[in-house]
Chain A
Amino acid sequence: MSRIGVFTCHCGENIGATVDCAKVAECTRSVPGVVHSVDYKYMCSDPGQTMIKEAIKEHGLTGVVVAACSPRMHEPTFRAAVAQAGLNPYLCEMANLREHCSWVHEKGEVTTEKAADLVRVMVEKVKHNQPLHPIKVPVTKRALVLGGGIAGIQAALDIADAGHQVVLVEKSPSIGGHMSQLSETFPTLDCSQCILTPRMVEAARHPNITLMTYSELEKLEGFIGNFKATIRRKARKIDEKLCTGCGLCIQKCPQKKIKDEFNEGLGNRTAIYVPFPQAVPNKPVIDTANCTFFKAGKCKVCEKMCPTGAIRYEQEDELVTLEVGALVLATGFKVMRTDKFPEYGYGQDPDILDGLQFERLASASGPTLGAMKRPSDGKEPETVVFLACSGSRDRSKGVPYCSKICCMYTAKHAMLYRHKVHHGKAVVFYMDIRSGGKDYDEFVRRAIEEDDVQYVRGRVSRIYRDGDKLVVKGADTLQGGAPVEVRADMVVLATAVQSQDGSEELAQKLHVSYDPYHFFAESHPKLKPVETNTAGIYLAGACQAPRDIPETVAQASGAAAKVAALFARDELTREPVVAVVNRLPAPQFSYCVGCFLCQSACPYQAIEQEEIKGRDGSVLKVVAKVNAGLCQGCGTCVATCRTKAIDIQGFSNEQIFAELMTL
Chain B
Amino acid sequence: MRMGYYPGCSLLGSSREFDESVRAVAAALDLDLVQVPDWNCCGASSAHVLDAKLAAALPARILAQAAEAGLDEVLAPCAACYNRLVSAQQALAKNPAFAEEIAGITGAPAATRVRVLNVLEVLDRLRDTIQARVKTPFGRKVACYYGCLLVRPPRVVAFDRPEDPRSMDLLAEAAGAVPLPWSHKTECCGASFSVTRTDIVAKLSGRVLDAAVKAGAEAVLVACPMCQSNLDMRRPEINAHLGRELDIPVLYITQALGLALDLDPEKLGLHRHMVPAMPARA
Partner of B163 from A343, A465, A466, A471 at Cβ < 8 Å: A343
| Contact B214–A466 (Cβ < 8 Å) | yes
In the complex, A618 has a CB within 8 A of chain B: no
Nearest Cβ distance between residue A574 and chain B, in whole angstroms? Answer: 52
| Contact B154–A462 (Cβ < 8 Å) | no
Contacts of B164 in A (CB 8 A): 342-343, 346
Contacts of B154 in A (CB 8 A): 396
Partner of A467 from B161, B181, B214 at Cβ < 8 Å: B214
Contacts of B187 in A (CB 8 A): 462
Interface membership of chain A positions 440-481, coded 1 if the CB is closer than 8 angstroms to chain B and 0 otherwise: 000000000000000000000010111100010000000000
Nearest Cβ distance between residue B186 and chain A, in whole angstroms? Answer: 8
| Contact B161–A465 (Cβ < 8 Å) | no
State which residues 331-366 of A face B: CB under 8 Å: 341-343, 346, 348
B161 and chain A: residue at smallest CB distance: A342
Nearest Cβ distance between residue B61 and chain A, in whole angstroms? Answer: 32
In the complex, B184 has a CB within 8 A of chain A: yes
Nearest Cβ distance between residue B189 and chain A, in whole angstroms? Answer: 15
Nearest Cβ distance between residue A225 and chain B, in whole angstroms? Answer: 52
A348 and chain B: residue at smallest CB distance: B181
Nearest Cβ distance between residue A321 and chain B, in whole angstroms? Answer: 48
B154 and chain A: residue at smallest CB distance: A396
Contacts of A396 in B (CB 8 A): 154
Considering the chains assembled together, what is the distance between the CA atoms of A239 and B187 in angstroms? Answer: 58
Nearest Cβ distance between residue B171 and chain A, in whole angstroms? Answer: 19
Considering the chains assembled together, what is the distance between the CA atoms of A446 and B55 in angstroms? Answer: 52
Chain B contact surface mostly: loop
Considering the chains assembled together, what is the distance between the CA atoms of A175 and B75 in angstroms? Answer: 59
Considering the chains assembled together, what is the distance between the CA atoms of A466 and B183 in angstroms? Answer: 9
In the complex, B246 has a CB within 8 A of chain A: no
Q: Total A-B pairs in contact (CB under 8 Å)?
A: 21
| Contact B184–A342 (Cβ < 8 Å) | no
B183 and chain A: residue at smallest CB distance: A464
In the complex, B33 has a CB within 8 A of chain A: no
In the complex, B126 has a CB within 8 A of chain A: no
State which residues 175-210 of B face A: CB under 8 Å: 181, 183-184, 187
In the complex, B114 has a CB within 8 A of chain A: no
Nearest Cβ distance between residue B128 and chain A, in whole angstroms? Answer: 26
Considering the chains assembled together, what is the distance between the CA atoms of A348 and B181 in angstroms? Answer: 11
In the complex, B211 has a CB within 8 A of chain A: yes
State which residues 218-246 of A face B: CB under 8 Å: none
Known pairs A342-B163, A343-B163, A343-B164; A464 contacts B184 (CB<8 A): yes
Nearest Cβ distance between residue B81 and chain A, in whole angstroms? Answer: 25
Considering the chains assembled together, what is the distance between the CA atoms of A341 and B163 in angstroms? Answer: 8
| Contact B211–A464 (Cβ < 8 Å) | yes
Contacts of A346 in B (CB 8 A): 164, 181
Nearest Cβ distance between residue A589 and chain B, in whole angstroms? Answer: 62
Considering the chains assembled together, what is the distance between the CA atoms of A348 and B211 in angstroms? Answer: 18
Considering the chains assembled together, what is the distance between the CA atoms of A476 and B161 in angstroms? Answer: 26
Nearest Cβ distance between residue B154 and chain A, in whole angstroms? Answer: 7
Nearest Cβ distance between residue A473 and chain B, in whole angstroms? Answer: 9
B164 and chain A: residue at smallest CB distance: A342
Interface membership of chain B positions 148-175, coded 1 if the CB is closer than 8 angstroms to chain A and 0 otherwise: 0000001000000101100000000000
A346 and chain B: residue at smallest CB distance: B164
Contacts of A348 in B (CB 8 A): 181
Task: Tell which of B181, B183, B184, B187 has the most Cβ of chain A within 10 Å.
Answer: B183
Task: Tell which of A346, A348, A396, A464 has the most Cβ of chain B within 10 Å.
Answer: A464
Contacts of A464 in B (CB 8 A): 183-184, 211
Nearest Cβ distance between residue A563 and chain B, in whole angstroms? Answer: 47
Considering the chains assembled together, what is the distance between the CA atoms of A431 and B255 in angstroms? Answer: 44
Task: Tell which of B161, B163, B184, B214 has the most Cβ of chain A within 10 Å.
Answer: B163
Considering the chains assembled together, what is the distance between the CA atoms of A342 and B182 in angstroms? Answer: 11
Considering the chains assembled together, what is the distance between the CA atoms of A342 and B166 in angstroms? Answer: 11
A471 and chain B: residue at smallest CB distance: B183
Considering the chains assembled together, what is the distance between the CA atoms of A658 and B85 in angstroms? Answer: 68
Contacts of A342 in B (CB 8 A): 161, 163-164
Contacts of A462 in B (CB 8 A): 183, 187
Contacts of A467 in B (CB 8 A): 214
Nearest Cβ distance between residue B108 and chain A, in whole angstroms? Answer: 35
Considering the chains assembled together, what is the distance between the CA atoms of A341 and B184 in angstroms? Answer: 15
Considering the chains assembled together, what is the distance between the CA atoms of A396 and B211 in angstroms? Answer: 28
B187 and chain A: residue at smallest CB distance: A462
A464 and chain B: residue at smallest CB distance: B183
Considering the chains assembled together, what is the distance between the CA atoms of A342 and B165 in angstroms? Answer: 9
B153 and chain A: residue at smallest CB distance: A396
A465 and chain B: residue at smallest CB distance: B183
State which residues 108-130 of A face B: CB under 8 Å: none
Considering the chains assembled together, what is the distance between the CA atoms of A462 and B185 in angstroms? Answer: 11
Nearest Cβ distance between residue B79 and chain A, in whole angstroms? Answer: 19
State which residues 594-639 of A face B: CB under 8 Å: none
Considering the chains assembled together, what is the distance between the CA atoms of A348 and B183 in angstroms? Answer: 12
A470 and chain B: residue at smallest CB distance: B183
Contacts of B211 in A (CB 8 A): 464, 466
Nearest Cβ distance between residue A575 and chain B, in whole angstroms? Answer: 51
Contacts of A343 in B (CB 8 A): 163-164
Considering the chains assembled together, what is the distance between the CA atoms of A466 and B182 in angstroms? Answer: 10
Considering the chains assembled together, what is the distance between the CA atoms of A343 and B184 in angstroms? Answer: 10
Considering the chains assembled together, what is the distance between the CA atoms of A18 and B187 in angstroms? Answer: 71
Considering the chains assembled together, what is the distance between the CA atoms of A462 and B181 in angstroms? Answer: 15
Contacts of B161 in A (CB 8 A): 342
Contacts of B183 in A (CB 8 A): 462, 464-466, 471
Contacts of A471 in B (CB 8 A): 183
Contacts of B163 in A (CB 8 A): 341-343
Nearest Cβ distance between residue A467 and chain B, in whole angstroms? Answer: 7
Contacts of B181 in A (CB 8 A): 346, 348
B182 and chain A: residue at smallest CB distance: A464
Considering the chains assembled together, what is the distance between the CA atoms of A464 and B163 in angstroms? Answer: 12
Nearest Cβ distance between residue A416 and chain B, in whole angstroms? Answer: 29
Considering the chains assembled together, what is the distance between the CA atoms of A464 and B211 in angstroms? Answer: 10
Considering the chains assembled together, what is the distance between the CA atoms of A343 and B185 in angstroms? Answer: 10
Nearest Cβ distance between residue B163 and chain A, in whole angstroms? Answer: 4
Considering the chains assembled together, what is the distance between the CA atoms of A467 and B211 in angstroms? Answer: 10
Nearest Cβ distance between residue B107 and chain A, in whole angstroms? Answer: 38
Interface membership of chain B positions 207-234, coded 1 if the CB is closer than 8 angstroms to chain A and 0 otherwise: 0000100100000000000000000000
Considering the chains assembled together, what is the distance between the CA atoms of A617 and B219 in angstroms? Answer: 87
Considering the chains assembled together, what is the distance between the CA atoms of A364 and B24 in angstroms? Answer: 64
Nearest Cβ distance between residue A567 and chain B, in whole angstroms? Answer: 53
Considering the chains assembled together, what is the distance between the CA atoms of A244 and B164 in angstroms? Answer: 51
Nearest Cβ distance between residue B157 and chain A, in whole angstroms? Answer: 14
Considering the chains assembled together, what is the distance between the CA atoms of A176 and B214 in angstroms? Answer: 45
State which residues 465-505 of A face B: CB under 8 Å: 465-467, 471
Considering the chains assembled together, what is the distance between the CA atoms of A467 and B213 in angstroms? Answer: 12
Interface membership of chain A positions 380-398, coded 1 if the CB is closer than 8 angstroms to chain B and 0 otherwise: 0000000000000000100
Considering the chains assembled together, what is the distance between the CA atoms of A460 and B211 in angstroms? Answer: 19
Nearest Cβ distance between residue A49 and chain B, in whole angstroms? Answer: 63
Considering the chains assembled together, what is the distance between the CA atoms of A493 and B163 in angstroms? Answer: 17
Nearest Cβ distance between residue A619 and chain B, in whole angstroms? Answer: 60
Nearest Cβ distance between residue A478 and chain B, in whole angstroms? Answer: 23
Considering the chains assembled together, what is the distance between the CA atoms of A518 and B96 in angstroms? Answer: 38
Considering the chains assembled together, what is the distance between the CA atoms of A343 and B164 in angstroms? Answer: 7
B165 and chain A: residue at smallest CB distance: A342
B166 and chain A: residue at smallest CB distance: A342
Considering the chains assembled together, what is the distance between the CA atoms of A341 and B162 in angstroms? Answer: 11
Task: Tell which of A342, A396, A467 has the most Cβ of chain B within 10 Å.
Answer: A342
Q: Which 4 A-B pairs have the closest CB atoms?
A: A464-B183, A342-B164, A343-B163, A342-B163
**Known contacts A342-B161, A462-B183, A467-B214, then 12 further A-B pairs from the complex at CB < 8 Å, ordered by chain A residue:** A341-B163, A343-B164, A346-B164, A348-B181, A396-B154, A462-B187, A464-B183, A464-B184, A464-B211, A465-B183, A466-B183, A471-B183
List 7 contacting pairs A-B, 8 Å CB cutoff, sorted by A. Answer: A342-B163, A346-B164, A346-B181, A348-B181, A464-B211, A466-B183, A466-B214
Residues of chain A having any CB pair with chain B under 8 Å: 341-343, 346, 348, 396, 462, 464-467, 471
Residues of chain B having any CB pair with chain A under 8 Å: 154, 161, 163-164, 181, 183-184, 187, 211, 214
